[in-house]
Chain A
Amino acid sequence: MANALELLQGTLDLLILQALAAGPAHGYAIARAIRRASDAVLVVEDRALYVALHRMEVRGWIGAEWGLSENNRRAKYYQLTRSGRRALREKTADWTAYVDAVFRVLRAREATS
């Protein structure tokens, strides 16, 4: 974890939405999915993850429901709402555009230097 990256502001929401795109999941499953998918490069503090989850629930991007986990415990499952899917699409597009732009700027500097 020494070379783990701090998350940029706002990207956590995007990661969570992306994780939920596969289907309903509880908080721990989301944390695990982000860790695995980024090969543990992206470190998410669990506290921040839950704060983001609860905020997005209030905002209506995700809904929550209590269900049973793999080992038969009560767990809070989150899932995308319609507006959550729209937010995911928009944020993904924004993020891609943002990254592209940053890349173009960086390449331009490489070329001139």
Chain B
Amino acid sequence: MIRWLRRVLPRWHTVDREIEEEVAFHLDSRAADLVMEGLPEAEARRQAEREFGDLQAARAQLAAIDRAQGDKARRGALLMDLAGDVRFGLRLLARSPGFTALLLITLALAIGANSATFTVVRSALLRGLPYLEPDRLVHLWETHAGGRSEASYPDFLDWRTERGVFAQLEGYNASDVTVARPDGGEIRLGGRVTPGFFELLGTQPILGRSFRPEEDVPDGAPVVILSYGYWMEVFGGDRGVLDSTLTLDGRPSRVIGILPPEFHFAPIGTADLWLTLGRSAERRGQRFNHWVNVVARLRDGVTPAGAAVSLNALMNRLAASYPGSNQGRAALVVPLRQQLLGDIRPVLVALFVAMGLVLAIACANIASLLLARSLGREQEIRLRSALGASRWRLTRQLLVECLILGVLGGALGAMVGHLGVRLVVTSLPEALLDHLPYLRRVSVDAAVLGYTMLLALATALGFGLGPIAHAIRADGRGLVVRRSGVTAPGALLRLRDGLIVGEIALTLVLLTGTALVGRSLAALLSLELGFEPDQVLTLRVALNGPRFEANAVRQQFMDRLLDGVRALPGVSASGAVANLPLQGGNTNTFRVEGEPEAPPASRLEATTRATAGEYFRALGIRLVEGRVFDATDDSTHRLSVLISESLARHLFPAGSAIGRELRFYAFPESTWQIAGVVGDVRTGPLDAPSPPTIYFTHRQYPAYRMSVVVRSAVEPAALSREVRRLVRELDPAVPVYQVNTLKAEIGAAPAVAARRVPLLLIGAFAGAALIVAMVGLYGVVSFNVARRSREFGIRMALGAGPEQILGTVLRYGVSLALAGLGLGLLLALGLGQLLRGMLFGIGPGDPIAYLAAGSLLALVTLLASYLPARTATRVNPTDALRAD
């Protein structure tokens, strides 16, 4: 190396000057010798020049040699040389546009898809939580009979005494807040927290201060801390807002602080207003009322499991002291990271698997394309090698070609990746993005992009250079005169066939996954819902604040609003409900009067909902028996409930439910008479069976927030304008929010989103894989046709018909496809198990999904083999024979 440098470095003179100097030295030396022999000076000079020959011609000839190919690197003109290689490479790639396009598409898809996915996954999973020492933060839950719930306030206070394991323990709660604005009421998401909450997470207001303990008492002075975003949006970042007053839920509240812009607490990600935990003294005293979410910081060296042991020992003591509320309850300690990411883990796993498969397929395709190309070029390489091109020279040329492909593929891949990240992010459910708001701003990760490009390039180099190295080693010795037809070692051909089989197999896996999830989604969307979602508009109203404290005021407001809506032109029914179907809601435990009482752990439990107006008619819920609520069901009459059909069957298998009485443990002083039985409705998650449901009327069981449902053929936007106007006329401070059609609400249901997102992503990957695999098969069959064109020519000359040639080629393509399909089926059966949690209404071995995926792939592979096969039948026998 040193010697090489010594040789190269002093040589920055131009070629001409060196030649001039060398020639001059020769002439001077010769003339000097001739003078020594006795010639006069001038004569000696002339003789020396005569002996040398034509000086001008010699200089030109030497310069030409020195500038010739291969000598340039020695002179440090490597860059010039490289430019030549690049030009040559580009010309070569442009000469086979098909090959180049296929390779670039593959590279772009592989690099793009992978960098997009990995970027999102990395941002979501691997990025640290933006809190102080996040690994010591845990989320605490109470558990009972397999379910988990928030903690009761007294339990929360008792947990705080576990100083040995927890350094700090704070509570929070999410709740809507009605903000009075000049143009009416507005609902904003609020976070209600204990005073030390921000300190626990390692955050403090950038302006003002945090909460003080004396502010978090049942009747403390209302104070509020604003999110940075809200401060900017509403007050334009005006510092004067500090100490000013906002009317929240009808109460004047003083602004005491502004949070930093980067602060974000995922469980209440979009909270704009932060208040103290609040609630009534009564509620804070109830051990059976579970409403506090608890986050805690573990002491140094304490593990979540260790903390759980201490906490459960405490829970056992509490159960002994308060058996009525705490019997059978335990505690659960979950690392905060796991708590925040739990929901999207299956999506990410599915993504990861799909991504890995596509990457494998793409690499196999790059490999097989390059293998074919280098086999086709073996002759050229041997020829050039025989003509004196050095091995390094040939290798460098190929390296440059790979680099060109890499740079072009990388640039395209970066673009695909950029679009892909946007696709992935926009296809994620809103709720998830609220949890992980930094995903909204995520852009392609340069490190990931680089890594994927390297992987693709390594594949390209490995498979592009391997066979060529073989050709170069063979030097000119293997150079036989073979002008047509392509030769290839059998082992390489078999490798290439194997790669295609693998590609087809992996594509089948992805297609099957798509079909399985797609079928689940279709099954989900065609479910019997128990109500008629078409032509129903829903919007929510919140009746908060001092004005609505009395039950009668809220009931009156609701009745007047619904009467007004009913009177609108085109409205056929209007009603309201505390929680729309599919949105879950409160459950209550109860018993049937006259039947023996069950132990606490096995009490009857049902979802409960307050309704108003003609709710059942508006949603098209069937009346099975008895009657629905009417004007007589008010506070002066008998307490009545409606129950769902399956609950009625469960409670009263023999007789009628009508007239029977229920008693709820939450308000044990009164009994409720069953007035009617209505059809089952999916009140809970879409992918769970309809839960037993009990309906109340809002006149006997008041609600603070209700969703109005309006059945009407009127266009939703115009209708919602009319309803808003009615609300404003009744009370301008009441906020209207969550305006939507019921159909769209179903589309946004978590069970649907949980499948639509992976369906979209796996589907996109499957599409990419299908394209790539088709390209691969097309390439390999075409190559096969080119290799055997002479054989086909001969066979046709001997009388074989086009069908026979077509059959031969198709048999080859189809046998590869069949091998791939068979292998893919085995893999898909294994991987189908991975999707089990995402499936609905079908098993992981659903034959229709496999059949659909398999036939699509079979069709595509048939097409990919047919096109080159048709070319084979067009071989002109005389041309094929003359070629040799």
Contacts and interface: CB of A to CB of B under 8 A. Distances in A.
Interface in B439-484: none
Contacts of B21: 74, 76
Contact of B26 (A27, A48, A66): A27
B661 interface: no
Interface in B51-110: 51-55, 57-58, 61-62, 65-66, 68, 70-71
A28 B53 contact: no
Interface in B26-41: 26, 28-30, 33
Contacts of B57: 47
Contacts of B65: 51, 54-55, 58
Interface string A42-56: 000111101100110
Given A45-B53, A65-B7, A69-B29, A58 B58 contact: no
B55 to A, nearest CB: 8
Given A47-B53, A48-B53, A69-B29, A76 B58 contact: no
A31 interface: yes
A75 interface: yes
Given A28-B29, A73-B25, A74-B25, A54 B52 contact: no
A25 B26 CA distance: 12
A51 B62 contact: yes
A74 B57 CA distance: 23
B66 A54 contact: yes
A46 B7 contact: no
A46 B52 contact: yes
A63 interface: yes
Given A28-B30, A54-B66, A47 B58 contact: yes
B360 interface: no
Interface in B1-50: 6-7, 10, 18, 21-23, 25-26, 28-30, 33
Contacts of A50: 22-23, 26, 58, 62
B18 A76 contact: yes
Nearest to B55: A47
B70 A45 contact: no
Interface in A54-113: 54-55, 57-58, 63-66, 69, 73-76
Interface residues of A, number: 24
Contacts of B61: 47, 51
A72 to B, nearest CB: 12
A51 B58 contact: yes
Nearest to B66: A54
Contacts of A63: 7
A26 B18 CA distance: 13
A63 B6 CA distance: 12
A46 B51 contact: yes
Given A51-B61, A51-B62, A51-B65, A27 B22 contact: yes
A55 B63 CA distance: 11
A31 B71 CA distance: 24
Nearest to A47: B53
Contact of A66 (B10, B23, B33, B68): B10
A96 B76 CA distance: 40
Contacts of A27: 22, 25-26
Contacts of A51: 58, 61-62, 65
Residue of A54, A55, A64 with highest tally of chain B CB at under 10 A: A54
Contacts of B51: 45-46
Nearest to A74: B21
Contacts of A54: 62, 65-66
A7 to B, nearest CB: 13
Interface in B632-652: none
Interface in B366-400: none
Contacts of A69: 25, 29
Contacts of B52: 45-47
A42 to B, nearest CB: 13
B70 A76 contact: no
Contacts of A58: 65-66, 68, 70-71
B451 to A, nearest CB: 39
Contacts of A66: 10
Contacts of A47: 52-55, 57-58, 61
Contacts of B62: 50-51, 54
A96 B7 CA distance: 35
Nearest to B61: A51
A46 B18 contact: no
A26 B28 CA distance: 13
A87 to B, nearest CB: 14
A79 B618 CA distance: 102
Nearest to B71: A58
A64 B18 CA distance: 12
Contacts of A64: 7
Contacts of A26: 25-26
A75 B6 CA distance: 16
B91 to A, nearest CB: 25
A28 B55 CA distance: 15
A75 B27 CA distance: 12
A42 B52 CA distance: 15
Contacts of B70: 58
A103 to B, nearest CB: 32
Given A47-B53, A51-B61, A76-B18, A28 B25 contact: yes
Nearest to A30: B26
Interface in B328-357: none
A58 B70 CA distance: 7
A69 B25 CA distance: 9
Contacts of B53: 45-48
Residue of A28, A48, A63, A74 with highest tally of chain B CB at under 10 A: A28
Residue of B10, B25, B55 with highest tally of chain A CB at under 10 A: B25
A28 B23 CA distance: 9
Nearest to B65: A54
A47 B49 CA distance: 10
A28 B53 CA distance: 14
Nearest to A57: B71
A91 B57 CA distance: 29
Interface string B808-830: 00000000000000000000000
A96 B841 CA distance: 90
A23 to B, nearest CB: 17
Contacts of A28: 25-26, 29-30
Nearest to B54: A47
Nearest to B23: A50
A46 B66 contact: no
Contacts of B58: 47, 50-51
Nearest to B32: A71
Nearest to B10: A66
Contact of B25 (A55, A57, A65, A75): A75
Interface in B797-811: none
Interface in A7-54: 26-28, 31-32, 45-48, 50-51, 54
29 contacts: A26-B26, A27-B22, A27-B25, A27-B26, A28-B25, A31-B30, A45-B53, A46-B26, A46-B51, A47-B52, A47-B53, A47-B55, A47-B57, A47-B58, A47-B61, A50-B22, A50-B58, A50-B62, A51-B58, A51-B62, A51-B65, A54-B62, A54-B66, A55-B65, A57-B71, A58-B66, A73-B25, A74-B25, A76-B22
Given A27-B25, A73-B25, 18 more contacts: A27-B26, A28-B25, A28-B30, A32-B33, A45-B51, A46-B53, A47-B52, A47-B54, A47-B57, A47-B58, A50-B26, A54-B65, A58-B65, A58-B70, A66-B10, A69-B29, A74-B21, A75-B22
Interface of A: 26-28, 31-32, 45-48, 50-51, 54-55, 57-58, 63-66, 69, 73-76
8 A-B pairs with least C-beta separation: A47-B53, A47-B58, A46-B52, A28-B29, A54-B65, A28-B26, A45-B53, A58-B71
Interface of B: 6-7, 10, 18, 21-23, 25-26, 28-30, 33, 51-55, 57-58, 61-62, 65-66, 68, 70-71
